[in-house]
Amino acid sequence: MASLGEQYADAKAQSWQLQELCSSIKSSLLLKALSENEGMSQQKAEAIAKASIEYRNHLDGTAAAIQKELSLKAKYEKTRSSFEALRSLSSLEKSTRNQSEY
């Protein structure tokens, strides 16, 4: 469970970082489009930035990181729930044994 928790934490950190970088990458592409095309409107430059291969690749990578994060979270929660169920069952068994001794 500890190993799975660490994997989940790493995936969550990577997912967060990629999501935060999204606006930075878009801004860089926007500035590049504006500097290469004097007089271009900001709206057009933003459309070019959002349509760029670099931005779409970043979004694909971000989506994959989010999917990995959520998948690991589900596995971690399932493992944790199984552990809690076994712990409760063990406690019930111990309680039942103690009652039958009296």
d(CA 91, CA 80): 16
Evaluate whether residue 37 is within a structural domain: yes
Range of 27's domain? 2-75
Tokens in use for 72?
Answer: 């690991």
74-83 pLDDT per residue, tens = 999 999 898 8
pTM over 0.85: no
Cα(39)–Cα(42) distance, integer angstroms: 9
Q: How far apart are CA 19 and CA 65, in angstroms?
A: 9
Distance between CA 78 and CA 70 in Å, rounded?
A: 12
Burial of 4 (0-12, 13-18, 19+ CB in 10 A): middle
Q: How many domains does the chain have?
A: 1
Q: Is residue 8 part of a domain?
A: yes
Decide if 94 is inside a domain.
no
Q: What is the pLDDT of residue 96?
A: 81
| 102 within domain boundaries | no
Residue 41 lies in a domain: yes
